[in-house]
Structure 1
């Protein structure tokens, strides 16, 4: 069997761009401050890292998102960063081969990043196009964050989709950008799926950084009904490493989430979405520690999990989890 520690890794979510835009003195190589720093990605053999453009729903959110898009562009253009923007299947294959730079692709976590609450939707779509022009390509868009916005309800609400949310879906038809359900309310998630089906829209569906609610009850985790919809639609489900979404006191529960997914038919959609972010200024002390030691940084977390899973999964299944499912999904929606 191929040594699991050296399988290439594709990860569907991190907040490195937020860290670089927000934290004074931040540096892409500071492993002490963020688990997805460049040396950790290199050590962990992460070959494609999704960089979320995140902002809260608040005045100025679109300027904040544009700043992060510019940081992404500068990283891609800076030869010293050792990062390459991936925007097509060929480049993805190159970075997965292990030759050259680590690949990165942008995503939007909260659509308030391109459309604020009080501006015309048409202006928001223009800002979205500007972000896409800046970063080259988007892998996915999350409509909301925790509390929701003009597009619908976040995962801390029970609101469904709004008129603007339906218009955003119509806009995304055929654009080869996935819709991410990780921060939607259950109501919004089901409304998104219903509108896609009713209007026969060509929009892929994923949950970039969510675990399974039957294993650990949290509204950030997927109920079986939503997980099965993503499986049925050939999407992706990225396993989240944050303790709050794994289990308050049981590190092995992340293994349980992964095996639960395989047991429920997610073998061809399950992936990683570790969700590394800067935690030092987080206002809620009950979240500390944010990660169990086994999962706290990319240099060791993926290999730890893959090694533990060798006794449960085949070599092919390990490869699917590590990178193949995400690669196949990206190849399919981008080709």
Structure 2
């Protein structure tokens, strides 16, 4: 078995909610490690070289204003004198892997962030262009969150795609923006794939922060057929660190999800999608704790996982998980004309 010191591996992570925290929580600060697992000191400690920053909003009146604040927060973070650097092209991606700072790129979690339920879709697309202008590049778009919206059904529903959802996919064709399956219903996920194939659309497919339903039965986890579709389409599957998506009672469950991925053809797709967000305002005690002790923040979690796996995965596999799969995916979709 090859030996490796996992703490020295660069990390690429596909999902966190730092922007929501900074714009929505009174007194929020980017360095408060006691309040959010992806605070800047934790990202630096954990050797995260590229962190995807989600722009999230619920589907309700005012959703686009809520998202706009986050795109502006991303821009402010990129311009501030801190340890973050915006990564928007291949040159920046290469530099990020060896830089002393943490790179960041934006994504949209719920298309209600650029298009409210009762406004013209054309106006929504204009707002999307403004978000992209603010953040320079959007890595992926999730059509929905847990519930349904004008585009389709979220993971807590059984609804499929709508006419507006198909039009959003048509809009995304050839724009080097991935469609994210982490919050779709199963029906919406399959409808998305069907429309992409029927219309021969050039849209990368990922699940930015989802685990495997074969390991833990949960609506937020991917069914086996969808796992294979993402693999077949050269997509990514970002392993989520939340206890409820791993196994409520098994601290080592994250290792089982990762090993399942490697054993079932996802060796070129699997990566990290930790999903760190602000949890202190949670009123449902049954959801606590959100993370197992070894996964509570970015400064310790990736190193813990890689150290635990180094007796079962070889050096190349650990590198694939840590950064190489995500890096290769980004190189592929960002290098297209």
CA shift at 1:101, angstroms?
A: 1.9
CA distance in structure 2 between the aligned counterparts of 1:228 and 1:9, rounded to whole angstroms: 24
Cα displacement string for residues 89-147 of structure 1 (whole angstroms, at most 9, x for unaligned residues)? 111111101x2321000000000000000000000000000000000000100000001
Which residue pairs with 1:82 in the alignment? 83
Cα displacement string for residues 211-255 of structure 1 (whole angstroms, at most 9, x for unaligned residues)? 000100000000000000000000000000000000000011100
Secondary structure of 1:317's partner?
A: helix
CA shift at 1:206, angstroms?
A: 0.1
Which residue pairs with 2:277 in the alignment? 277
Cα displacement string for residues 164-196 of structure 1 (whole angstroms, at most 9, x for unaligned residues)? 000000000000000000000000000000000
Which residue pairs with 1:146 in the alignment? 146
CA distance in structure 2 between the aligned counterparts of 1:8 and 1:172, rounded to whole angstroms: 30
Secondary structure of 1:5's partner?
A: helix
CA shift at 1:308, angstroms?
A: 0.5
Cα displacement string for residues 38-83 of structure 1 (whole angstroms, at most 9, x for unaligned residues)? 010011000100000000000000011000000000000112x211
CA shift at 1:271, angstroms?
A: 0.3
Secondary structure of 1:280's partner?
A: coil
Give the TM-score, by structure 1 length: 0.99
Secondary structure of 2:245's partner?
A: helix
CA distance in structure 1 between the aligned counterparts of 2:57 and 2:257, rounded to whole angstroms: 28
Which residue pairs with 2:160 in the alignment? 160
CA distance in structure 1 between the aligned counterparts of 2:119 and 2:9, rounded to whole angstroms: 46
CA distance in structure 2 between the aligned counterparts of 1:23 and 1:55, rounded to whole angstroms: 14
24, 29, 34: which one pairs with 1:22?
A: 24
Secondary structure of 2:29's partner?
A: coil
Secondary structure of 2:318's partner?
A: helix
1:2 partnered with 2:33: no
Cα displacement string for residues 8-63 of structure 1 (whole angstroms, at most 9, x for unaligned residues)? 00000000000000111111000000000001001100010000000000000001
Cα displacement string for residues 260-295 of structure 1 (whole angstroms, at most 9, x for unaligned residues)? 000000000000000000001123221100000011
Secondary structure of 1:103's partner?
A: strand
Aligned positions of 1:209-248 closer than 5 A: 209-248=209-248
CA distance in structure 1 between the aligned counterparts of 2:78 and 2:12, rounded to whole angstroms: 18
CA distance in structure 2 between the aligned counterparts of 1:83 and 1:196, rounded to whole angstroms: 35
Which residue pairs with 1:43 in the alignment? 45
CA distance in structure 2 between the aligned counterparts of 1:234 and 1:316, rounded to whole angstroms: 18
Aligned positions of 1:170-209 closer than 5 A: 170-209=170-209
**Pairwise CA RMSD:** 0.6
Unpaired segments of 5 or more residues in structure 1?
A: none
Secondary structure of 1:237's partner?
A: strand
Count of residue pairs the alignment pairs up: 333
CA distance in structure 1 between the aligned counterparts of 2:18 and 2:52, rounded to whole angstroms: 9
Contact 2:13 2:273 in 1 (8 A): yes
CA distance in structure 2 between the aligned counterparts of 1:217 and 1:2, rounded to whole angstroms: 33
CA distance in structure 2 between the aligned counterparts of 1:191 and 1:153, rounded to whole angstroms: 10
CA distance in structure 1 between the aligned counterparts of 2:267 and 2:57, rounded to whole angstroms: 32
Unpaired segments of 5 or more residues in structure 2?
A: none
Which residue pairs with 2:316 in the alignment? 316
Contact 2:56 2:67 in 1 (8 A): yes
1:13 partnered with 2:15: yes
